[in-house]
Amino acid sequence: MARERDRMPTSFTRRAAKVTSATTTQGARHAATLAANLLRDEDAGAEVLERRHREAAQRMVAVLGSMKGGAMKVGQLASFLHVEFIPPEYRELYQHELAALRDAAPPMPWRLVERVLRDELGEPPERAFAELDPEAAAAASIGQVHRGRLHDGREVAVKLQYPEIADALETDVRTVAVLSPIARAIAPGVDVRAVVAELRERILEELDYELEAQHQRAFARAYRGHPFIHVPDVVTDVCRRRVLVSEWVDGAPFADVLASPRDERDRFGEILVRFFYGSIDVVGRFNADAHPGNYLRRPDGGVSFLDFGAVKTVDRERRQLMLAGARAVAARDAPAVVAALERLGWLRHAETLDPEMILRHVLLTSGWSFEDRELTITPERVALAAAALSNPRSEVFRVWRRENLPAEELMFSRMDAGVVSVLAQLGATANWHRIAREWIFGDPPSTELGRAEWEFLTGRRLWRDPRG
């Protein structure tokens, strides 16, 4: 049995209390309130405010990181999404502090690592591994990674799940469920029960490393030999429900990419877009977890994608509905946009809505991929869309609070928001619409990366004509 100090809190009361202390009174909301009180003394207040905000962000890192599980995922998302209750001038500070959660968390001690391996493999770890570094190479929300070597000489990444994490994650999902009455008050049209059920199913799927291995194998097969996308091969015979072993990958983390010249950041951003959105056609599924700890830039300029715990399959029928909606937006055909959103489950009162207003909203939130020009994604653009969705006085807010967030779309929305937020951090520039037209209309590629990918996909017979 693990020592008491090694255990993470799993009870509903303890975890909910810790999340609250991290994100409200003693966290960012406290700092935001303090900001308002100190604005009267601008000179003296600025230094104090920055110190208070930094302390709040560091506390969030410490609390969320020690809890791991779903609570830590909140921090990981906050490190690259724009959190509206944080004053704009301090968001970069929070993102910087919370970025630590992308790549690291307090690791479990070696004796617990050995215990998990022995329990899952049914034998001492040295039978399966010639070498295994006792120091974790990375520690994240539900598991940590150690570098190892198999007896045949292959270098591998060994991902192990934290003990008790299943109970902790279940508790975190219950915390979300408790917020359902608040969610209904904010957005009466949303089927909160269906959304929570979808969230629960997807999050708890992340506990099954054998399922994750299946997804990763599918991506690895489809992208094997790709000119700039790499997915590590899975070592199937050593994988178990709480152990996932795959090819070791070396590469530069996201922080290094951010410090790169603009053309390199643009290229990196285009690769992310082609992977996260393009995989719907290439693999028939997409990875919903776009946070920057899940990929590395390779020495050759390509990108390795590492984590496949949050994967969603898209069937052909739903894909066709999505394409119909995208074509309607591209044509600025407001009635067709409303019809497509209704078929996808987004609208419940379509007959009462102004189609032109709905089109304006879609262009506000997703217009970056429908503007036929070179476009730089900026934090200001992302914040503008977020503000419209969260401002009770805006027409967008008043309409969408009556409508629906389809459970089926929850994971895609998560991926979409994550990708555009990362592009904003990169300040990536491209004609995103011309890239999107390859999937929406089957247009020929307009970039160097697109032409290289086209050659790969057609050569492997993986390209799917969206026109049917």
Which of 225, 367, 226, 222 has its CA nearest to residue 281?
Answer: 222
Structure tokens at 111: 């004796």
Residue 15 domain-assigned? yes
Residue 169 domain-assigned? no
Residue 327 domain-assigned? no
CA distance 265 to 247: 26
Averaged pLDDT for residues 268-286: 97
Bridge partners for 247 per DSSP: 156
Q: What is the pLDDT of residues 15-61, one digit of tens each?
A: 444 444 444 434 444 434 433 443 343 444 556 655 665 666 566 55
Averaged pLDDT for residues 284-291: 92
* Contact assessment for residue 202 and residue 161, using Cβ atoms and an 8 Å cutoff: no
Q: What is the pLDDT of residue 162?
A: 82
For the chain, how big is the Rg over CA atoms in Å?
23
Number of domains into which the chain is organized: 1
Q: What is the pLDDT of residues 112-159, one digit of tens each?
A: 889 999 999 999 999 999 999 999 998 766 788 999 999 999 999 999
Longest CA pairwise span in the chain (Å): 67
Terminal C-alpha separation, the chain: 57
C-alpha distance from residue 368 to each of 58, 222, 436 (Å): 33, 28, 10
Residue 434 domain-assigned? no
The 10 Å CB-count burial string (b at 16+, else e) for 87-106 is beebbebbbebbbbbbbbbe
The parent domain of residue 30 ranges over 4-101
Residue 447 domain-assigned? no
Q: What is the pLDDT of residues 406-448, one digit of tens each?
A: 777 778 888 998 899 899 999 999 999 999 999 999 999 999 9
CA distance 111 to 395: 56
Q: What is the pLDDT of residue 353?
A: 86
Residue 355 domain-assigned? no
Residue 394 pLDDT greater than 80, yes or no: no
Averaged pLDDT for residues 315-321: 93
Residue 89 domain-assigned? yes
Q: What is the pLDDT of residue 195?
A: 65
Residue 408 domain-assigned? no
Q: What is the mean pLDDT of the chain?
A: 78
Q: What is the pLDDT of residue 41?
A: 39
